[in-house]
Amino acid sequence: MSNAESITIGRAREHESAHLHVSGEARYTDDVTAPAGTLHGAFGLSRIAHGRIRSLDLAPVLAAPGVVAVVTAADIPGENNYGAVVHDDPIFTEALVEYAGQPLFGVVATSHDAARRAARRARVEYEELPALLSAREALAAGSFVLPSERITRGEPDARIAAAPHRLDGEYAVGGQDHFYLEGQIALAVPQEDGCWRILSSTQHPSEVQHVVAHALGVTAKDVTVEMRRMGGGFGGKESQPALIAAAAAVMARKTGRAVKLRLDRDDDMLLTGKRHDFWYRYEVGFGDDGRIHGARLLLASRCGYSVDLSGPVNDRAMFHVDNAYCLEHVDIVSHRCKTHTVSNTAFRGFGGPQGMVLIEQVMDEIARHLGRDPLEVRRANFYGIGERDETHYRMKVEDNILEPLVQRLATESDYHARRAAVAAFNAASPVLKKGLALTPVKFGISFTATHYNQAGALLHVYNDGSVQINHGGTEMGQGLHTKVVQVVAEELAIDPARIRITATATDKVPNTSATAASSGSDLNGMAARDAARKIRARLAAFAAGQAGVAADAVVFERDRIVAGEREWPFAALVKAAYLARVQLWDSGYYRTPKIHYDRATFSGRPFYYFAYGAAVAEVAIDTLTGETRLLRVDILHDVGSSLNPALDLGQVEGGFLQGVGWLTCEELWWNPRGELATHAPSTYKIPACSDWPAEWHVALLERAPNREETIYRSKAVGEPPFMLGIAAFQAIRDAVAACGAPGCRPPLDAPATPEAVLRAVDAVRAAGR
Amino acid sequence: MSEHDSIRFVLDGRVHTVTGIDPTTTVLQYLREHLGRTGTKEGCAEGDCGACTVVLAELRDGRVQYLPINACIRFVATLDGKELITVESLRGTDGRLHPVQQALVDHHGSQCGFCTPGFVMSLLGLYLDGPAQPDRRAIDDALSGNLCRCTGYRPIITAAQHLRDYGTDAVPFAPGQDESARIAQLQGLRPDGTRVLRGDGVTLYAPTDADAFARLYAEHPQATVLAGGTDVGLWINKQFRPIDTFLYLGDVAAFDAIEQDAQGLCIGPAVSLSRAFRALLDAYSALDELHRRFASTPIRNSGTLCGNVANGSPIGDSMPALIALGARVRLRHGDERRELPLDALYLDYMRQDRRPGEFVEAVIVPAPRAGQRFATYKVSKRIDQDISAVCGAYALELAADGRVHDVRIAYGGMAATPKRAAGAEAALRGRPFDEAALADAMRALAGDFTPLTDARASADYRREVAANLLSRFWLEATGVAAPVRLSELA
Q: Which residues of B touch A180 (CB under 8 A)?
A: 112, 114, 149
- Judgement on whether residues A561 and A473 belong to the same structural domain of the protein: yes
Q: How far is the alpha carbon of B115 from chain A, nearest alpha carbon, in Å?
A: 6
Q: Do A231 and B114 touch (CB under 8 A)?
A: yes
A731 and A621 in contact (C-beta within 8 Å)? no
DSSP string, B1-51: --EE--EEEEETTEEEEE-S--TT-BHHHIIIIIS--TTS--SSSSSSS-T
* Residue B452 contacts A, CB cutoff 8 Å: no
B247 and B223 in contact (C-beta within 8 Å)? yes
pLDDT higher than 50, residue B418: yes
The answer to whether A719 is a known catalytic residue is yes
pLDDT band at B288 (very low <50, low <70, confident <90, very high): very high
Choose the final residue of a domain: A544, A567, A591: A591
Residues 6+ apart with CB under 8 A from A191: A197
B3 and B196 in contact (C-beta within 8 Å)? yes
Examine residue A199 and state whether it is found in any structural domain, yes or no. no
Kindly state the average pLDDT of the residues B285-290: 97
Q: Which residues of B touch A650 (CB under 8 A)?
A: 108, 111, 150-151, 155
pLDDT band at B263 (very low <50, low <70, confident <90, very high): confident
Level-2 CATH architecture, domain B256-489: 2-Layer Sandwich (3.30)
Examine residue A629 and state whether it is found in any structural domain, yes or no. yes
**Nearest partner of B129 among B177, B72, B180, B184, judged by Cα:** B177
DSSP string, B284-295: -GGGHHHHHHBS
Q: Which residues of A touch B383 (CB under 8 A)?
A: 629, 688, 690-691
- Judgement on whether residues A521 and A632 belong to the same structural domain of the protein: no
Q: Which of A689, A692, A717 to mutate to test the interface with B (most CBs of B within 10 A)?
A: A689
Neighbour-count burial for A498-510, b at 16+ CB within 10 Å, e otherwise: bbebebbbbebbe
pLDDT higher than 80, residue A5: no
pLDDT higher than 50, residue B84: yes
Partnered with residue A328 across adjacent β-strands are none
Asked if the peptide bond before residue A705 counts as cis, ω within 30 degrees of 0, the response is no
Q: Which residues of A touch B377 (CB under 8 A)?
A: 625
pLDDT higher than 50, residue B431: yes
- Taken in order A530, A532, A538, A540, the sign of the CA dihedral is negative
Quote the number of domains for chain A.
Answer: 2
Q: Which of B96, B114, B380, B394 to mutate to test the interface with A (most CBs of A within 10 A)?
A: B114
CA atoms within 13 A on the CB side of A636: 20
pLDDT higher than 70, residue B2: no
pLDDT higher than 90, residue B92: no
Q: Do A180 and B152 touch (CB under 8 A)?
A: no
pLDDT higher than 80, residue A285: yes
Please tell me the predicted confidence (pLDDT) of residue B132: 95
- Judgement on whether residues A432 and A464 belong to the same structural domain of the protein: no
* Residue B156 contacts A, CB cutoff 8 Å: yes
Kindly state the average pLDDT of the residues A500-508: 98
pLDDT higher than 90, residue A620: yes
* Residue B48 contacts A, CB cutoff 8 Å: yes
Q: How far is the alpha carbon of A345 from chain B, nearest alpha carbon, in Å?
A: 18
How big is the CA angle at A169 (ends A164 and A175), to the nearest 5 degrees?
Answer: 140
B:239-258 residues touching chain A, CB 8 A cutoff: 240
- Give the A:B interface size as CB pairs under 8 Å: 273
Please tell me the predicted confidence (pLDDT) of residue B4: 84
Choose the final residue of a domain: A542, A559, A591: A591
- Judgement on whether residues A643 and A756 belong to the same structural domain of the protein: yes
Q: How far is the alpha carbon of A395 from chain B, nearest alpha carbon, in Å?
A: 32
Q: Which residues of B touch A117 (CB under 8 A)?
A: 240
Q: How far is the alpha carbon of A685 from chain B, nearest alpha carbon, in Å?
A: 7
Examine residue A194 and state whether it is found in any structural domain, yes or no. no
The CATH number given to B3-187 is: 3.10.20.30
- Give the H/E segment covering residue B311: helix B305-311
pLDDT higher than 60, residue A2: no
Specify burial of residue B366 (Cβ count, 10 A radius: 0-12, 13-18, 19+).
Answer: middle
CB-nearest to B144 from A179, A479, A690 is: A690
Kindly state the average pLDDT of the residues A128-139: 98
Residue spans per domain, chain B? 3-187, 256-489
Give the separation between CA A542 and CA A583, rounded to whole angstroms: 11
Q: Which residues of A touch B49 (CB under 8 A)?
A: 181, 681
- Structural domain that includes position A495: 18-25+454-591
- Judgement on whether residues A566 and A622 belong to the same structural domain of the protein: no
CA-based nearest residue in chain B for residue A752: B381
Q: Which residues of A touch B382 (CB under 8 A)?
A: 665, 685, 687-688, 691
Q: Which residues of A touch B317 (CB under 8 A)?
A: none
A257 and A144 in contact (C-beta within 8 Å)? no
Examine residue A420 and state whether it is found in any structural domain, yes or no. yes
Give the separation between CA A495 and CA A499, rounded to whole angstroms: 8
A334 and A319 in contact (C-beta within 8 Å)? no
pLDDT band at A3 (very low <50, low <70, confident <90, very high): low
Examine residue A501 and state whether it is found in any structural domain, yes or no. yes
Q: How far is the alpha carbon of B409 from chain A, nearest alpha carbon, in Å?
A: 18
Examine residue A761 and state whether it is found in any structural domain, yes or no. yes
Choose the final residue of a domain: A557, A591, A625: A591
Please tell me the predicted confidence (pLDDT) of residue A1: 43
CB-nearest to A691 from B114, B155, B383 is: B383
Kindly state the average pLDDT of the residues A207-230: 98
Higher pLDDT, A769 or A215: A215
* Residue B12 contacts A, CB cutoff 8 Å: no
Q: Where are the alpha helices (DSSP H) in B402-485?
A: 422-428, 435-448, 459-477
Neighbour-count burial for A268-292, b at 16+ CB within 10 Å, e otherwise: bbbbbbbbbbbbbebbbbbeeebbb
Average pLDDT of the residues of chain B? 96
A536 and A556 in contact (C-beta within 8 Å)? yes
Instruction: Tell me the pLDDT tens digit for each residue of A295-308.
Output: 999 999 999 999 99
pLDDT band at B176 (very low <50, low <70, confident <90, very high): confident
CB-nearest to A182 from B100, B114, B483 is: B114
Please tell me the predicted confidence (pLDDT) of residue B490: 64
Task: Report the relative pairing of strands A292-304 and B336-341 from DSSP bridges.
Answer: unpaired
> If you count them, how many residues does chain B have?
490
pLDDT higher than 80, residue A747: yes
Q: Do B486 and A622 touch (CB under 8 A)?
A: yes
**Nearest partner of B438 among B485, B394, B390, judged by Cα:** B394
Question: Three-state SS string across A228-268, please?
Answer: CCCCCCCCCCCCCHHHHHHHHHHHHHHHCCCEEEECCHHHH
Q: How far is the alpha carbon of B118 from chain A, nearest alpha carbon, in Å?
A: 9
Q: How far is the alpha carbon of B270 from chain A, nearest alpha carbon, in Å?
A: 24
**Nearest partner of A661 among B381, B294, B487, B113, judged by Cα:** B381
Residue A643 DSSP label? S
Examine residue A296 and state whether it is found in any structural domain, yes or no. no
- Judgement on whether residues A585 and A625 belong to the same structural domain of the protein: no
Enter the ipTM. Answer: 0.98
Q: Which residues of B touch A433 (CB under 8 A)?
A: none
Instruction: Tell me the pLDDT tens digit for each residue of A525-564.
Output: 999 999 999 999 999 999 999 999 999 999 999 999 999 9
The SS3 call for residue A698 is strand
A211 and A220 in contact (C-beta within 8 Å)? no
Please tell me the predicted confidence (pLDDT) of residue A362: 98
CB-nearest to A23 from B101, B143, B489 is: B101
Q: CATH number of the domain that A660 lies in? A: 3.30.365.10
Instruction: Tell me the pLDDT tens digit for each residue of A459-493.
Output: 999 999 999 999 999 999 999 999 999 999 999 99
- Taken in order A16, A22, A25, A26, the sign of the CA dihedral is positive
CA-based nearest residue in chain A for residue B101: A22
pLDDT higher than 50, residue A71: yes
Examine residue A102 and state whether it is found in any structural domain, yes or no. no
Residue A202 DSSP label? -
Give the separation between CA A748 and CA A433, rounded to whole angstroms: 15
Q: How far is the alpha carbon of A646 from chain B, nearest alpha carbon, in Å?
A: 7
The SS3 call for residue A581 is coil
The SS3 call for residue B201 is coil
CB-nearest to A696 from B114, B154, B454 is: B154
- Judgement on whether residues A473 and A550 belong to the same structural domain of the protein: yes
B:365-404 residues touching chain A, CB 8 A cutoff: 377, 379-387, 389
B354 and B331 in contact (C-beta within 8 Å)? yes
- Taken in order B67, B73, B78, B81, the sign of the CA dihedral is positive
Q: Which residues of B touch A649 (CB under 8 A)?
A: 108
* Residue B308 contacts A, CB cutoff 8 Å: no
Choosing from A207, A666, A719, A755, the catalytic residue is: A719
B:128-147 residues touching chain A, CB 8 A cutoff: 136, 139-140, 143-144, 146-147
- Judgement on whether residues A522 and A661 belong to the same structural domain of the protein: no
